[in-house]
Each structure stands twice: as structure tokens, then as C-alpha cells.
Structure 1
Amino acid sequence: MAVSQRLELRQSQSLVMTPQLQQAIKLLQLSNIELAEYVQRELEQNPLLDRDDGTGNAERQERETGDLHAAAEASSGNDSNSPDSLELGNAETLPDSNQTPLDTDFDSYYDSSPDNQWNEDSTAFSSWGPGGNTRFDDESFSLENRLEETVTLSAHLREQLVMEIDDPTKRIIGLHLIDHLDESGYMKADLGELAEQLGCQIELIESVLQTLQTFDPSGICARDLAECLAIQLREKNRLDPVIQALLDNLDLLAKRDLAGLRKVCHVDDEDITDMIAEIRALNPRPAASFDTGDVESVIPEVIVRPDRAGGWHVELNTDALPKVLINNHYYNNVSQLARTKEEKTYISEQIQSANWLVKALHQRATTVMKVASEIVRQQEKFLQKGVQSLRPLTLKDIAEVIEMHESTVSRVTSNKYMVTPRGTYEMKYFFTSSIGGDDGNNHSSEAVRDRIKNLIDQEDSKKILSDDALVTRLKQEGIDIARRTVAKYREALGISSSVQRRREKSLSL
């Protein structure tokens, strides 16, 4: 067969993901908080967009035409020679770790730290409070302002570090150790790797760690739970060999195996009860009081409330959604003043972007309403009676009714919340798997989970329900479920086994 070249003309259909289509898909899965941030960025970049709050139009009409020329010049790519973050972060520009030896770079490292509290060249505090640069004679110093500041765990420990340790080498080791604490205050760094990284002996790091473990709060910088409890007991002068044996066998305590604890500690029932009570009075998370992480606000996107006809009224929470409009008056003015090709191109791009954003926001709101309304229709019994009436529901069930793809429904229900008379729920909550029933009806896995929890909460302390007993109870109620599924749901709820529950309730621990 001869090999030859020839030209052919073919027609085919394909889906092209334009940048605007990709952004429209992205808008669907944004929460209302993320959406507000996105719209705010667009308002800052696009001079033809206004926030629909009744106050922006007049201000835009007063805009001078000089802004247009400045924007067009900025869009012409004058900053093309500026390096981006990727170029600045390559191996050639980053400093070599060998260039900053441990014993010579401490002064620059520590003095540049925002949390440093002590200037070794002075006899007074150079700052007051964590991360501050305020002197006592500073006019900005006031007790009211300082009381409002939140002290972080890192700043609290660094303040103690500079007061307790004078040696610069030990201080920088202490700073590295503090930076490796987790949210509970435990030391999770491998000391051997840290010693290799800093170029020092591991014995020196262990010595600094022991000093840090004497800091407030008690139990900080421990490497595990047993060491954390031991530090607190040592400060109370209660760490004797007997209670140390108990700390070495915390796994038996977790299982409520009192017989095993009595055996390893060589004590009677009264002593073991007293020691357990003392252990329970300690703090297993020393850094809990310094938990200053920001709590994300949950702002519902959909509001559901009963109407007078006995049904349900579904509406968008318009107060939480950004509203924008196109300033046509300003657009007409600047389009007539455009002279150069760059200015005309810039105006054309901005009006297209503005039109697309308005349409995309409207389409997003319409899609969210369609999905939310169908969820409410499908889960009406849940709204009336509670979680026991939650019915099995999948993304496909919603997608088929509203004639959209499952992926679209998935994006719409991600990171979005619905406030109902039963409480505020993420829209994903209403989608649960199905568990068969003896009566031919399917049951929601979430409803079965809630039923298992209620049965265990109501069980008699003298008659603890095993997983097999729970299976029997559920089958009597028409729920056909396997024992391993019951065990999986029980563990997901954080409920211990029947053996452990029996020990807990019989011993009142």
C-alpha cells in the first residue's frame, strides 16, 4: 500500500471551554462569602461596574476621563518585565542554607522577628505585648488598646523564651521548636531531623525542649499525651512511680480496663479510682485556651419558611448576595472620548466582562433556586417531622427533575447553606444513601444513624445494647441493616463499643 499525503475537510462538534464559561462554572461552587470577594475584585478592576446599593452611580458619573487613559495604559502590558513569584522563587535566587550558620545569624533572625520582646543592647523592653513595637512613652500606648489584642500561643512562649534563656544559640533553637507546635501544644517535630537541619547536637535540642516544657501553660511542648500529663503532675509534685505506671498504660485506661490497671500499678480499687480522678482533672490540650483561629461565619444562601397555604416558601438570601449593575451613563461618556486603539479595545473588553458578570450572577441565582426548591420538595417530610423522616436522595434525583447535569447540582450544593425551621444545614446534608427496609421502603442513612444514636442514649445501664441487639431493634422497625454497617455508623458517631459503655456506666467514669 502506497503512502501518500492528501488534504481532507471534516466537520465535527466539540465543547470548547472558553475562559468565561470556566469562570461561570467556578461561580456556581463559590459560597456567598467567596462570591462577594470575587465581585469586589471585579468592581475594583472594571470601571463600568457599580455595586447595586443606590450610592455608586453618582460617584461614577463624576469620574474624570483621566482614569480611562490610566487604565488603558495599565492594560497595555507595560509591566511585562516584572518578574512573577515563580521567577523569584527559583533555586538561583533563594539563599543557600549554608550561608546562614546557626551561631552567627541569630541576631538578625531574632531582632527582625515581629514577636521579639527584648533588645539585648538596651536595658528596657523594646516592645510591649506580642508583636508590638510600642514603648511606654509612645503616644499610641493605651491600656484600652492593649487589652483588645489577642495573645497567641507563639507570642506567649517567645516572651517566656527571651526571659528564661540568654544563650543566642539556645534561643534560636527554642524559636524553631515553638514553630513546630501543633494546635494542641504538642511537639510534633522529629528532634533528630531538626538537629541535622540546624547543625547542632540532638542533646542540645533536648535540653532546650526540657526548658520549654517548664513554660506556661503547664504541659506545653510535650511529645505525647503521657508526657503532657507527666509534666503537669510533676509541677504538682504528684509524679510518683505508681502514677507513672498508670501513664505508661493509658491504653488500658482508654479501654476502662481497671483490672489491668490495678495489676500493673499494684494498687487497690480505691487508689486506682483516685488516680483516675486526678488524671481526669488535668488538661490534655494545653494550647486550647490560645485557640485564636478565625471561625468561619455560616451565612445561609437560601431561606426556607412555611407559608400560609401549608407548604414551604423558598427564597434567596438577597442580603448576603452581591448585586452589581452596568453604569451605562459612564460607558456612553467614555466611549465617545476614546481616541486610541488601546482605549477603544479596553472599553470593549470591560463592557463585555461587565455584561458577562451580570448574566453569570443572574444564572447562578436561578440555578441555586431551582436546586433548593427541588430539595425542599423532596425533603418536605424532614421539614415537618425531623431527621427520622429524611428520605434517601441523590444528585441524580435532583438533576433529572430540573434537567441539569449531576455535576452542576454538585457544584450548586457545595459550600452553601439553607436555613430551615429545623436549623441551618449545608445543602449537601440532604443527599444521603439508601438503606433497604423489610416493608419495601428505603430509609436514609442519616435517619438510621440518628436512630442508632437515640437507641444508645436511651439504653438501660444494666442492659447495654450490643451491635447485634441494635440490628434486631432496627429490623423490628423495618430497617434491614447489617451488623458491620451498625458498627460503622456507631464509630462514625464517636460512640464506644458495648463493652466499653458497660464499664463506663457501671463504674460511673
Structure 2
Amino acid sequence: MSLSLQPSLRQTVSISPQIQQSLQLLQTPALELENLLQTELQTNPVLEEELRPAETAELPPEEEEDSHFSTRDSDWPVHTSRVDRPRLDPRQAFVESRVHPESLTDHLTSQLTLTQVEPAIQAAASEIIGNLDEHGFLQADLSEIAAATHTTPAQVDQALALVQSFHPPGIAARTLPEALLLQLQSQGQEDTLKAQIVRDHFNLLGKRKFAEIATALSAPLESVQSAAEAIARLSPRPGSAFAPDRPDLVVRPEATFVRDGHRWLPQIEGDLLPRLRISDTYKDLLGDGSADEHTRSYLKERIRSARFLLQ
């Protein structure tokens, strides 16, 4: 056996890291690309964001006059401390300032976590909360709750009573009369004429047959009418005041189609992305030769990275 060297020619395709990064950027969705550009803008000092035409428009006369006053005022010495704050993107500031509303499920779950009950009842209560509709009514049978959580009917009854004691009053009811009775109970009025009307004569109440209700309960007609007005002020949908568990998502298109005569032309939504450029200040600093070798090397590397991103 002998060893020998034999030259050979072979064609291969090699992709440089720069090309790989370019291909990755081309496949990046607009939202992720915007985040990437914002990150690069914060980490690369030679990059700066271009002002859009609307941001560089001339001031109206009133604002120009005010600017003269502000210029004269700036000649006076200022003795207060000043902190330079970075300019915020209005869109980003709007997104960060939004307060996400609490959903009904989150509101009830937070109350459940503060309640000291045995694990079986807590599991059944959590299952009940998960089976409430957007108005706060229970949509599952108690037998289904018991089967799903491997609990007894008695434990499910305790779990239901627990959830129905939570805020908002009337939650986890199975019918509208039950929701109204739970609200009256939370007000300490479970033994009043209002509760009796809801419990025993709800159909007549819906038809506004107050005289028949007064006769059946041997109560004055005025008292029945007053009770009906109080019942009408209760909430028929106890959970509707909370945000939905699955809020609608706002989709921002990356491209749209514009009608041009008999054709539809694609149009890229370029305003979604910030416009970046290399700062003239750092280019001048690199060109005038005043920077030391370490600074020049750093600026060259940062400018090279910025140019590659802008290409």
C-alpha cells in the first residue's frame, strides 16, 4: 500500500456569511425586520434615523413666532439640571403606552389563586371559569365539570358556589334569573320582594304583568313596580364589562394592491420600516484623521456593518 497525491478539480458552491445574512433578511417579515432595525439603530452609533418629510416641514407662522421667543429665551442662563432623553418613535410610544385590559378569565383566576381551598375544589373551580362564555354564564353541565376534573358532584357544587361568590356579582350563573338572584344576594337582598319576583314570577316580570304579580304575592302594585325598576338596574350579562379572552389582532400588511386601470399593481408598504443612514458626523471624524487608531478601527467596522445592512 502506497500513499500518493493526485490533484483534482471540483466545482462547489460556497455561501459567505454576508450572503447568508442577506438571504435571511430577505425572508424576514416586516414586523421582525422593524425590530431588527431598531435594535441595530440602538447598538450601532454610526446609524441614525432619517426624518420623514412630514417631520421636517416648515413651521406655520404661529410656531415660527414662538420659535423666535424660544431662541431668545435660550440666551438666558439655565441653572436647572437637564437630562437628554432619546427621541421616541411615536408608533413605539403608542404601543408601549397601551394598557392591556383584564379579561374575565384572568379576573376570576386571580381571585381563585387567593382562595384557600382543597385542590379538588380548586381544580373544579378552574374548570368552571374556563367554561364561562363572554357574558359570564356557565355553558357546561356540572356532570361534565366533575368528569373533566375527576371530582365528586358535591365538590363541584362547592366549587360553583365559590366561583359565584367572586366579583363581579352574578357570575357563573346558568340562567338569567340565577344571575339576577346572585346579584341580589351579594347586596343582602335575597329575602326581599325583588328576589321573590325573580325567583317565582320571572315570566310575568318579562311580560310586565305587574298587576298579576301583585295579586299572586298579595303585595301593593306600587311595591311591585318599584321592585321591577330595581331589578331592571341589575346586569343581565355580568361578565360583559371585561375584555374578551381572545382580543382581535390588528394585522399590519407588508404589501397592498392598488388598482391601475384594469390592472392590480403590488405596492410595498415601505413606511412601516424606519429609514436609516450613516451619520455624517462619524464619516467626517473618520476622514479628517483626528481620531486615534483604535477609534478609526472601531468606526470602520461599524460603518462597514451599517453599509451592509443598508444595502
TM-score, scaled relative to structure 2: 0.49
User: Which structure has the higher relative contact order (CA within 8 Å, separation 6+)?
Assistant: 2
TM-score, scaled relative to structure 1: 0.31
Q: Greater Rg, structure 1 or structure 2?
A: 2
